């Protein structure tokens, strides 16, 4: 039977087969060394390439080239001098570690339900501290690992930016003086810049952030910084790298040559439940992935005290031993002491046993992994920043729960460890040589050496040298003047020409792009659907952004509206990645904060592939206080017609309603759309409100009337009257394209039943709902208030029937505020392909079904007549059961 270590060793030897003729090998290597010495590295690389080509031609199989040995990429010879005061920095990092730990343990002693994490920051502390002391410039954009937030708070406390009171209120936010669990710009708008709590989104967003920084520079909206460009840093967990989003844009980052981007993957080899790759090596796997995608990979695996061991390991036995050790074993070595490590790791081979013969068990215990040695960390970051032309990733090996001793380091359950007894806390204090009394340890008192201590003076000097603190979030930027509504006159006048709201939207966008002040700030974004929405007209006008311009003559170059790519192109054509396009939108929608440069992004996409597909990214955008427009195209379950089940959207408005700062509208007519876009632009860019807009536009062509007098307020608040007569017997409400079915139903009622109905256009059930909730709450608390729905329908005769192209729950949102009988119709069930007419019949939202519903609400007997008259099939099951 083969055991695990045989499998692993054989895998190792497949990559590194035994040397059949060491003498010959040495001769080749010496010749190569001589070449490098005489003619330089570039020439050596050239010859290697030639050799590989030659081997390929001779049909000699290639060795795997994306993996390097399990040791540091930066050799001792290349290592720069450490520029800081290591003694002070060590003391500082120990203090930060203590306060972070005390904060979490204290919160949980008082209220066990609060939760929190210690082990993640314990592994990341040195990676962060070297960044804070030497690398993170004030204007850099740093995405922090969310579960390490306690460490960032703890540092801000020493910096004097967070009070002791706030630290004491960790995870107690409702009173307004607490600290968020993770990085939440919404809840701590002056502190956190990027929400990373939902893992995988941080690394993805960071890539598009770095790309958007380039976009702004290439379009001359930001100054180019040749000498010392701003950097985007993304700290990611090794377990987090399993999220598809973490990997989704690696190739984009390399393709765009984003050398303003540095990933640091904290390879503590563990995630929440257990090892990330117990039976393999996460570092080697990630190295292959990143290198294959075209990144510069820097392995930061071993601390300085390993240098001597590697130097003495002439036969490569140490390296062999490291390669045959799977991560599950490395975790075990992290959780055990020097003696165990000697017995099980080093004593396996006599050569290794000899290598550490002069080291005590304590010495072995103190051997540090690379991510815990500031000198090695500095060398890795330094190499990353100097690398030109490609993004860099630092794969930093650490121990999860570093310094947490028997109750944490390398332990299987360490991720959730947050309750430590006094003995464990004293052990921690001793381990990090903290000058804290037993009494203070028992009380979990925060430790601050005071503003005049060498530690705090050093820390402040370092931050001053780097331009200021990190993280800091800017909440406002310059206010921009937005075009007045009358400049959109042609959209308000109406047109007899039949067109879709999508077409109206594209015309509106084209006009905004030409606006003298705003035009350059508009960012049209598509995920390979510009033609779907008839936006190819913008290709020529605005150009498609490409960092390298256009290196080919486009196939359609002789056409007027050819596919034009340009370095200063304005459109972000992302290709088929809704997650990527949404990340670009997020970067643009927060540029007012990240860069002090307000932008106006419009991301238009198949509405089904928005809230449903990338809903969590939209949630993160909301947390980020985004300002911009999301435009769900070809929207509505029956309006999209032929595309069928996975394309027809009947739910996005329901999901949109759950996001507090999202203003969602489902307009039917061009003037509604123009009114909403104009006011939205004003609110976001001029009044600087932290809201964003979701608009659905559809592809059904029809004529658009002019704006009725006095409709402006109602359009924005969510409903307004379209038709009103004194003798109306009931009220019909419709939204989006289904409004036209509602109008047709009113005509049927008049023609066939002599019943007059008022017709209301509902632009936003979700805004009406919010307004209703507010009024209801005010009344509940003793005030006086009337909702917009109540105000509109006060004194209106008869029952109210509403219909939309979304599930009936959307229209149902306003039920509590509708006086009298209310019937909500919608498109519940699975979408399917057919004509619009057939689909609206199927989902029972066409004119005749709306008329039947209205009659049934008035008088059931009338409805029975109508069912017969209109040939409604009563035998089939409901659409949501089919
Ligand atoms: C999308 C998502 N899924 C799950 C979680 C819950 N979660 C938080 S931390 C964690 C483990 C993190 O492991 P790793 O990325 O290796 O980071 P480490 O704490 O080890 O540094 C999990 C599963 C989350 N925050 N986000
Ligand atoms: Mg991990």
For the segment 772-803, what is each residue's pLDDT rounded down to a tens digit? 999 999 999 999 999 999 999 999 999 999 99
154 vs 311: CA distance, rounded Å: 38
Of 499, 500, 517, 519, which is closest to residue 509 (Cα–Cα)?
519
Output the six-digit token pair for 731. 């009220």
Nearest Cα residue to atom 22 of ligand 1: 272
* CA 200 – ligand 1 centroid, Å: 9
Mean per-residue pLDDT for 503-507?
97
Pocket, ligand 1, Cβ cutoff 6 A: 120, 123, 145, 147, 197-200, 237-240, 266, 268, 270-272, 276, 400, 415
Distance (angstroms) between ligand 2 centre and the Cα of 199 equals 12
State the sign of the Cα–Cα–Cα–Cα dihedral 335, 339, 340, 346.
Answer: positive
Residue 700 has a pLDDT of: 98
pLDDT in tens, 195-238: 999 999 999 999 999 999 999 999 999 998 777 789 999 999 99
The Cα 591–Cα 344 span in angstroms is 53
> 517 Cβ partners below 8 Å, 6+ apart?
480, 481
Do 376 and 300 form a contact (C-beta atoms < 8 A)? Answer: yes
pLDDT at residue number 385: 97
Q: At 110, which helix (H) or strand (E)? A: helix 86-110
Instruction: Tally the C-alpha atoms within 13 A of residue 121's C-alpha that lie toward its C-beta.
Output: 29
**Best CA proximity match to 600, nearest among 613, 588, 612, 583:** 588
pLDDT at 692: 98
Tell me the per-residue pLDDT of 823-838, one tens digit each, with 9 for 90 and over. Answer: 999 999 999 999 999 9
| CA–CA distances in Å: residue 50 to residues 54, 65, 483 | 6, 15, 61
Q: Give the pLDDT score at 17.
A: 66
Q: What DSSP element (H or E) covers 236?
A: strand 232-237
Q: Ligand 2 centroid to 786 CA: how many Å?
A: 53
Contact criterion met (CB below 8 Å) for 577 and 522 = no
Structure tokens given for 776: 């209801």
* Cβ within 8 Å of residue 330, ≥6 positions away: 269
The pLDDT of residue 13 is: 40
Q: Which residues partner with 495 through β-bridges?
A: 704
What are the E-state strand segments in 779-835?
800-803, 822-825
What's the pLDDT band for 432 if we cut at 50, 70, 90? very high
Whether a cis peptide bond, with omega within 30° of 0, leads into 344 is no
Task: For residues 127-154, give the mean pLDDT.
Answer: 98
Counting Cα atoms < 13 Å in the Cβ hemisphere of 718 gives 22
Structure tokens at 66: 């994306």
Half-sphere exposure of 41 (CA within 13 A, CB side): 0
Residue nearest to atom 20 of ligand 1 (CA): 271
Query: Residue 415 Cα, ligand 1 centroid: separation in angstroms?
Result: 9
The yes-or-no verdict on residue 653 having pLDDT over 70 is yes
| pLDDT score of 16 | 59
Parallel, antiparallel, or unpaired: how do β-strands 544-545 and 565-566 relate?
Answer: parallel
* H or E, element range at 640: none
pLDDT at position 227 is 73
Q: Which atom of ligand 1 is nearest to the CA of 200?
A: 1
CB proximity list for 755: less than 8 A, separation 6 or greater? 729, 730, 749, 854, 855, 858
Which position has the token pair 């019937």? 823
CA distances 151 to 154, 155, 169, 460, Å, are 5, 6, 15, 17
Cα of 283 from ligand 2 centre, angstroms: 11
pLDDT, tens digit, for every residue of 300-355? Answer: 999 999 999 999 998 889 999 999 999 999 999 999 999 999 999 999 999 999 99
70: tokens are 């399990």
Ligand nearest to the CA of 119: 1
Nearest Cα residue to atom 3 of ligand 1: 199
Residue with the smallest CA separation from ligand 1 atom 12 is: 271
Region of 437 (left: φ > 0; alpha: ψ -120 to 50; beta: rest) is: beta
Using CA atoms, how far apart are residues 673 and 114, in angstroms rounded to an integer? 45
pTM of the model: 0.95
Atom of ligand 1 nearest to the CA of 271: 13
Question: Using N-to-C axis directions, what is the helix angle for 454-465 and 149-158, rounded to 10°?
Answer: 110
Rounded to an integer, what distance in angstroms lies between the CA atom of residue 657 and that of residue 652?
9
285 CA distance to ligand 1 centroid (A)? 19
Q: Please give the Cα distance from 783 to 197 (Å, whole number).
A: 38
Max distance between CA atoms of the chain, in angstroms, equals 105
Give the CA angle between residues 628, 613, 846 to the nearest 5°. 85
Chain segment 759-771, per-residue pLDDT in tens: 999 999 999 999 9
Protein residue closest via CA to atom 4 of ligand 1: 199
Mutation to probe ligand 1, out of 415, 614, 619 (largest number of atoms < 8 A from CB): 415
CA 879 – CA 477 distance, rounded (Å): 50
Closest CA to 377 of 463, 310, 300: 300
More confident site: 592 or 407: 592
Of the pLDDT bands very low, low, confident and very high (cuts 50, 70, 90), residue 66 is confident
**Residue 59, strand partner residues:** none
Ligand approaching nearest to the C-alpha of 125: 1
> φ and ψ at 369, to 5 degrees?
-80, 155
- Considering the chain, what is the average pLDDT of its residues? 95
CA atoms within 13 Å, Cβ hemisphere of 587:
29
The DSSP secondary structure of 51-97, one letter per residue, reads HHHHHHHTTPPPPP-S---SS-SS-GGGPPPP-S-HHHHHHHHHHHH
Residue 2 has pLDDT above 50, yes or no: no
Q: What percent of the chain has a predicted confidence (pLDDT) above 70?
A: 98
* Nearest atom within ligand 1 for CA of residue 616: 1
The alpha carbon of 265 and the centre of ligand 2 are apart by a number of angstroms equal to 9
pLDDT tens figures, 285-303: 999 999 999 999 999 999 9
Atom from ligand 1 closest to the CA of residue 415:
19
- Backbone φ, ψ for residue 795 (5° rounding): 75, 0
Range 550-571 average pLDDT: 96
Q: What is the 272 CA–ligand 1 centroid distance (Å)?
A: 6
Q: What is the pLDDT of residues 661-694, one digit of tens each?
A: 999 999 999 999 999 999 999 999 999 999 999 9
> How many other C-beta atoms are found inside a 10 Å radius of the C-beta of residue 472?
14
What's the burial of 283, exposed, middle or buried (CB within 10 Å: 0-12/13-18/19+)? buried
Sole residue written with tokens 């059961």? 881
């Amino acid at each position: 039977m083969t055991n695990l270590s045989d499998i692993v060793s054989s895998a190792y030897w497949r990559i590194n087969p035994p040397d059949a003729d060491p003498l010959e090998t040495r001769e080749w290597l010496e010749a190569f060394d001589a070449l490098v010495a005489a003619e330089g590295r570039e020439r050596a690389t050239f010859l290697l390439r030639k050799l590989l080509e030659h081997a390929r031609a001779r049909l000699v199989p290639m060795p795997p080239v994306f993996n390097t040995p399990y040791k540091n990429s930066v050799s001792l010879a290349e290592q720069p001098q450490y520029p800081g005061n290591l003694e002070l920095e060590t003391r500082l990092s120990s203090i930060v570690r203590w306060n972070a730990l005390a904060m979490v343990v204290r919160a949980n002693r008082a209220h066990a339900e609060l939760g929190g994490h210690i082990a993640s920051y314990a592994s990341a502390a040195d990676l962060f501290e070297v960044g804070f002391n030497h690398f993170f410039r004030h204007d850099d954009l740093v995405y922090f690992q969310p579960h390490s937030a306690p460490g960032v708070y703890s540092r801000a406390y020493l910096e004097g930016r967070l009070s002791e009171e706030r630290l004491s209120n960790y995870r107690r936010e409702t009173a307004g003086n607490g600290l968020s669990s993770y990085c939440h710009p919404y809840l701590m708008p002056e502190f956190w810049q990027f929400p990373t709590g939902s893992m995988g989104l941080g690394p993805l967003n960071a890539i598009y952030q770095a790309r958007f920084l380039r976009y702004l520079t290439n379009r001359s909206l930001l100054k180019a910084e040749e000498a010392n460009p701003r950097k985007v840093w993304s700290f990611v967990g090794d377990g987090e790298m399993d999220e598809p989003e973490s990997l989704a844009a690696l190739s984009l980052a390399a393709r765009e040559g984003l050398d303003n981007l540095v990933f640091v993957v904290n390879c503590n080899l563990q995630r929440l439940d257990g090892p990330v790759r117990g039976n393999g090596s996460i570092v080697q796997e990630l190295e292959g992935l990143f290198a294959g995608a075209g990144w510069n990979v820097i392995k930061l695996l071993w601390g300085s005290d390993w240098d001597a061991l590697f130097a003495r390991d002439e036969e490569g036995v140490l390296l062999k031993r490291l390669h045959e050790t799977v991560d599950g074993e490395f975790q075990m070595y992290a959780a055990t002491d020097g003696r165990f490590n000697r017995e099980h790791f080093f004593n396996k081979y006599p050569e290794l046993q000899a290598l550490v013969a002069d080291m005590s068990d304590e010495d072995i215990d103190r051997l540090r992994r690379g991510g815990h040695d500031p000198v090695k960390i500095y060398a890795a970051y330094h190499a990353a920043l100097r690398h030109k032309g490609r993004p860099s990733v630092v794969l930093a090996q650490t121990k999860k729960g570093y310094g947490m001793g028997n109750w944490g380091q390398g332990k299987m359950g360490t991720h959730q460890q947050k309750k430590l007894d006094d003995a464990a806390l004293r052990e921690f204090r001793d381990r990090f040589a903290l000058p804290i009394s037993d009494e203070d340890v028992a009380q979990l008192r925060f430790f601050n050496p005071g503003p005049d201590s060498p530690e705090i003076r050093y820390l402040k000097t370092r931050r001053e040298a780097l331009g200021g603190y990190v993280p800091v979030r800017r909440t406002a930027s310059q206010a921009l003047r937005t075009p007045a509504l009358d400049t959109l006159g042609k959209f308000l006048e109406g047109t007899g020409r039949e067109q879709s709201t999508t077409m109206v939207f594209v015309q509106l966008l084209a006009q905004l792009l030409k606006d003298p002040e705003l035009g350059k700030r508009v960012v049209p974004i598509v995920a390979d659907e510009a033609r779907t929405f008839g936006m190819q007209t913008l290709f020529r006008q605005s150009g498609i952004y490409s960092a390298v311009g256009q290196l080919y003559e486009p196939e359609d170059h002789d056409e007027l509206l050819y596919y034009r790519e340009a370095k200063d192109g304005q459109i972000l054509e992302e290709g088929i990645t809704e997650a990527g396009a949404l990340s670009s939108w997020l970067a643009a929608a927060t540029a007012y904060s990240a860069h002090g440069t307000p932008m106006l992004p419009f991301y238009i996409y198949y509405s089904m592939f928005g809230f449903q597909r990338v809903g969590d990214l939209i949630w993160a955008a909301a947390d980020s206080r985004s300002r911009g427009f999301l435009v769900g195209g070809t929207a509505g379950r029956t309006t999209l017609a032929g595309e069928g089940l996975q394309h027809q959207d009947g739910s996005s408005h329901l999901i949109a309603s759950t996001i507090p700062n999202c203003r969602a509208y489902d307009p039917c007519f061009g003037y509604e759309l123009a009114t909403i876009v104009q006011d939205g632009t004003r609110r976001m860019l001029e009044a600087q409100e932290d809201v964003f807009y979701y608009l659905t536009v559809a592809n059904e062509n029809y004529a658009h009337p002019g704006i009725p007098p006095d409709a402006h307020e109602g359009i924005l608040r969510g409903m307004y009257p379209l038709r009103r007569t004194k003798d109306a017997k009931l009220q019909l409400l419709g939204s989006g394209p289904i409004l036209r079915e509602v109008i047709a139903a009113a005509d049927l009622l008049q023609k066939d039943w002599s019943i007059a109905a008022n017709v209301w256009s509902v632009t936003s059930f979700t805004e009406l709902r919010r307004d209703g909730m507010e009024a209801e709450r005010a009344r509940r608390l003793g005030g006086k208030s009337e909702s917009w729905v109540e105000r509109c329908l006060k004194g209106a005769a008869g029952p109210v029937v509403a219909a939309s192209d979304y599930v009936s729950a959307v229209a149902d949102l306003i039920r509590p505020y509708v006086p009298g009988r209310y019937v909500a119709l919608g498109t519940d069930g699975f979408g399917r392909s057919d004509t619009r007419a057939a689909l609206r019949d199927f989902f029972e939202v066409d004119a005749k079904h709306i008329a039947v519903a209205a009659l049934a609400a008035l008088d059931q007997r009338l409805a029975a007549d109508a069912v017969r008259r209109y040939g409604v099939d009563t035998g089939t099951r409901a659409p949501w059961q089919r």
